[in-house]
Amino acid sequence: MSLSEDRRIPDHVTVAIVGAGPAGLGVARVLRDLAIPDVWVLERGRIGQSFLRWPSGTRLLTPSFPVNVFGLTDLNAISYDSSPGWSLKREHPDGGRYAQYLEQAALAFGLNVACGIEVLGLEPHGEGLVLRTDRGEIGADFVIWACGQFGTPSDGGLIGAELARHYAAVGRWQDVPGDEVFVIGGYESGIDAALGLARAGKRVTVLERGAAPWQDRDKDPSRALSPFTRQRLDVAMKGGAITLIDGAEVVALEEEPGGIRILAGDGRSWLSSHAPILATGFASGTAPVSGWFDYDETGLPLLTPQDESTELPGLFLVGPEVSHNGHLFCFIYKFRQRFAVVARAIAGRVGADTSALELYRANNMYLDDPTCCDADKCLC
């Protein structure tokens, strides 16, 4: 196994996985269980790099608990036989600690992880693919794209967005200037920003374009605030430092002598003395290989039932952008259920034994029927 930049990667591998986050490491573990040879995880930074970049104080929304002895899997685990709750002794680990769990998992599972390699693109080559990296070309029979979205912040098409600061660019909330801060966007990252800023002693106004997500009753956690966030928000609201405004569709930012004017489509405006915080989400993590994916009207990659690109055979996707018929596998406990689907597809093409996948199905980590996520079921 390699966790450094020193060990040479073969010129050709069976499977190249791009991204050493929970998706990349999780699917690598399944392929290891199927005895697929020459599986390498390529990471441009460190293991769990996106989590290491989280603002301080930001924590995983879903709780971690070592329930393995009860036949269940920790919600934030990347495998059925590990638990960040047990290894970190934290129920809602922050980004740094979760990256520590990922590194421990890579070591424990004996995965080939090469850090410090940036993948610039890929091309079909013969019956396989070739990755272009900052260290040269690497051939692969299959490529699994496992890059998350945190590295691709979106400004939501906001005019004058360069006058603001995106959530992903904040290291510590106490370092954000000003006593009063405006946050544009009221879903998870927006409310997390408001909570962090309030803890830092600042007054915060959250501007949400649509209906109030803090009042939404949608059962799908992909579309509503998590209980963890609601609980923290309820406590913080008692302090009076946070103001929540829904129905405020911000369309532009303009600089003026007193600061930055935030303009809403209905004519309302607010003056911010410093750069407001953008909680406008993230673009696709598939940008470096976007030419090899087709996308739906919402910008999500179109995939086969095996989570393979509809444009380039042999290119698979794992992680929070996997979607089928409107079902989005956004959280770790959701998208990890698709690792075995990708692994089975690859194993079938190389003639590997797939009997080990029955253990994944038994541990609720093999979801090949997404209808369980229909609105009237919401079981995934």
Q: What is the pTM assigned to this prediction?
A: 0.93
Residue 3 lies in a domain: no
Residue 369 has pLDDT above 90, yes or no: no
189 and 292 share a domain?
Answer: no
Mean pLDDT of 161-175: 97
pLDDT at 377 over 70: no
Lowest mean pLDDT, pick from 68-77, 247-256, 276-285, 311-320? 68-77
Q: Please give the average per-residue pLDDT across 94-121, as a whole number.
A: 97
Q: In the listed set 229, 260, 278, which residue is the last one of a domain according to the structure?
A: 278
The residue range of the domain holding 219 is: 161-278
Q: What span, in angstroms and rounded, lies between the C-alpha atoms of 340 and 322?
A: 14
d(CA 228, CA 139): 44
Segments of the chain assigned E as strands = 12-18, 39-43, 112-115, 119-125, 128-133, 136-145, 165-166, 180-184, 203-207, 242-245, 250-256, 259-264, 269-272, 277-278, 315-317, 323-324, 327-328
Residue 307 belongs to domain with CATH number: 3.50.50.60
What integer is the mean pLDDT of 208-214?
Answer: 90
65 in Cβ contact with 92 (< 8 Å): no
Across residues 185-195, what is the average pLDDT?
96
372 CB-near residues (< 8 Å, 6+ apart): 379, 380
Residue 217: pLDDT band by 50, 70, 90 thresholds? low
For residue 156, being part of any structural domain is answered with no
- CA dist 12 and 130 (Å) reads 9
**Which pLDDT value is given to residue 328?**
86
Query: What pLDDT shows up at residue 2?
Result: 43
Q: What percent of the chain has pLDDT over 70?
A: 94
**Rounded-to-integer distance, Cα 337 and Cα 264, Å:** 40
The stretch 81-97 carries a mean pLDDT of: 96
Which of 1-10, 159-168, 306-315 shows the lowest mean pLDDT across its residues? 1-10
Poorest-pLDDT segment among 17-21, 92-96, 330-334, 345-349: 330-334
Is the model's pLDDT at 59 over the cut of 80?
yes
Domain co-membership, 287 together with 272: no
Provide CB contacts within 8 A for 90, sequence distance 6+.
64, 84, 97
E strand intervals along 171-313: 180-184, 203-207, 242-245, 250-256, 259-264, 269-272, 277-278
Mean pLDDT in residue range 268-290: 96
Domain stops at, among 278, 294, 327: 278
d(Cα 361, Cα 367) in Å, to the nearest integer?
Answer: 7
Q: Please check whether residue 59 lies inside any domain of the structure.
A: yes
CB 273 within 8 Å of CB 258: yes
Distance of CA 3 to the CA centre of its chain: 22
* Dihedral angle sign, alpha carbons of residues 282, 288, 289, 294: positive
Using the 3D structure, point to which of 258, 278, 298 is the last residue of a domain.
278
Q: Are residues 137 and 25 in the same domain?
A: yes
What does the pLDDT read at residue 1?
43
Residues whose CB is less than 8 angstroms from the CB of residue 30 and which lie 6 or more positions away in sequence, other chains included? 339, 340, 342, 343, 357, 360
Note whether residue 239 is domain-resident: yes
Q: What is the pLDDT at residue 179?
A: 96
Indicate the pLDDT class of residue 219, thresholds 50, 70 and 90. Answer: low
- Say whether 342 sits in a helix, a strand or coil: helix
Contact 197, 181 (CB under 8 A): yes
Mean pLDDT along residues 356-380: 79
State the total domains in the chain: 2
Instruction: Give me the mean pLDDT over the 96-122 stretch.
Output: 97
- The pLDDT value given to residue 325: 85
Please check whether residue 167 is in contact with residue 268, taking contact to mean a CB–CB distance below 8 angstroms.
no
